[in-house]
A and B are shown apart, each in its own frame.
Chain A
Amino acid sequence: MPVEKKYETPLLDQLESGGWPSFVKEIKSAAEDNAMANDLLGLLEQSYQEKIGHWKHGGIVGVMGYGGGVIGRYTDLPEKYPAISHFHTMRINQPAGWFYTSEALRTLCDIWDAHGSGLTNMHGSTGDIIFLGTRTEELEPIFSKLTAAGFDLGGSGSDVRTPSCCCGKARCEWACYDTMGLTYYITNRYQDELHRPAFPYKMKFKMSGCPNDCVASVARADISIIGTWRDEIQVNQEEVRNYAKSGLDITKEIAMLCPGKCIEWNGNEIQIDNSNCRHCMHCINLMPKALAPGKDRGAAILVGSKAPIVEGALLSSVLVPFIKLEEPYDDLEIWELIENMWDIWCEEGKNRERIGEFIQRVGLGNFLDAVGLEPQPEMVAFPRDNPYVFYEEYFEEEEDQ
């Protein structure tokens, strides 16, 4: 049903100028038929004028039985903007790799047009489908329709967040394991942890098929599962020569930029010292027809990255340097390791302390000891510069002396 325009928005209008797609244009478009989007324009204009946000956080709203998936929002100006007095966000668990049929997208949009603001994020930084703005009484009807259509809510709060992954073997020749299959498995295995928050803080899984790490799991996930290989980079020398003929300066652009300094080019053939390869993907990215990851493929499991919220940003540290990730996933040993990590973190972690911060606080050596993992050289980020793994025998030797 058409909604009458209620607000003049001179400041927002400026944000429609320029060539870049504007969120204002989208909200205005939604506002033609949706009172929530219409009031959102008014509130946002007021916020720009006053330089003050007019939102309050709601901490209780959700659907029956779940502890995550809904983020409560209320405006602090409900009398002026009654249509957005409630404006809750819903996170919908996206399919692995973000694959949809057009029909599935139409179903989602129909549900959201009927019960919410009509505004979405495709997708949020968590990876979920984000429905922006609905009322408390609409949450259960939306959830009911979503589940009937085969969708479920994602994670929020101190739970396992919706696992996300790159498109993996569905569209990428470099995928070293089936990221989508593993993501689907993890989503199902940890349903309880996804919907019923039981941790000191959030716990994110992100799966990347190769070290290019297209979902940035090394920087964003508490548990990063990044595809890699343990044999030799596959080389097609004829294609290497073709790259050189077409103008690629292999010495300057590949060999000299190799972080392991393990590539030599003699003008006819490329030689790779695989024992010093850092698996950075630089050479493979520049010569995709000539080079490819090895054939013995699997993944490295890393732990502890996070964006800066309570404390600064952290990158993940290697926990398992290489593991074959093949079905049946039930048989993999990593689940016991992950669940042991959770037990220790739950037992000793502080409120709002990510597992990476917890490991920093107690020390990686103590953490490894507690989860029952032997330290390995690959766990040391910078050899000889960062000795944060201590071997007990060193202390014993010192004591003996």
Chain B
Amino acid sequence: MAVDLEKVKETMFKLIKDSAGMKKWKATDLHKACEELFGDEYDKRGVGKDAIKELVEEGKLVYTYFGGSYLELPHREGAAND
């Protein structure tokens, strides 16, 4: 049985929130972590993609770029001018 979308969203969000400031997560890192947690029930091309898409569209996560693209909690960036 496929793992529930809300469960994946909650897991991904928690992974990022709990390590904010210490680790930057790429989409592939999130998929790998979810594969470890949910095993074969996790489909990165299906529920995994949808979870990231919804988290970003809900504004809970944002894409950032610092040499590569990452997913982070929304925050004011250091380089920004007022």
Contact = CB atoms under 8 A, between A and B. Distances in A.
Query: How extensive is the interface on chain A, given as a class?
Result: 35 or more
Give the dominant DSSP class at A's interface: loop
B26 interface: yes
A300 B29 CA distance: 33
Interface stretch (A155-163, A176-184, A266-274, A289-297): A155-163
B62 A60 contact: yes
A62 interface: yes
A253 to B, nearest CB: 48
Nearest to A199: B28
A75 interface: yes
B53 A58 contact: no
Contacts of A21: none
A192 interface: yes
Nearest to A192: B49
Given A60-B62, A60-B64, A62-B63, A158 B81 contact: no
A224 interface: no
B58 to A, nearest CB: 9
Nearest to B45: A339
Q: Is the interface of B mostly helix, strand, loop or mixed?
A: mixed
A56 B57 contact: no
Contacts of A351: 26, 67-68
Interface stretch (B6-14, B15-23, B72-80): B72-80
A352 B64 contact: no
Interface in A133-188: 136, 156-159
B81 A75 contact: yes
A124 interface: no
Given A64-B59, A196-B52, A347-B28, A157 B65 contact: yes
Nearest to B30: A198
B75 A200 contact: no
Contacts of B57: 64-65
Given A58-B80, A59-B79, A68 B28 contact: no
B36 interface: no
Interface in A196-218: 196-201
A307 to B, nearest CB: 16
Nearest to A67: B63
A196 B80 CA distance: 23
B5 interface: no
Given A62-B62, A200-B28, 13 more contacts: A60-B62, A60-B75, A67-B56, A72-B77, A78-B81, A158-B65, A196-B52, A196-B53, A197-B63, A198-B28, A198-B49, A198-B52, A200-B26
Interface of B: 26-28, 31-32, 49, 52-53, 56-57, 59, 62-69, 72, 74-75, 77, 79-82
Cβ-closest 4 pairs across A and B: A67-B63, A197-B69, A157-B69, A158-B69
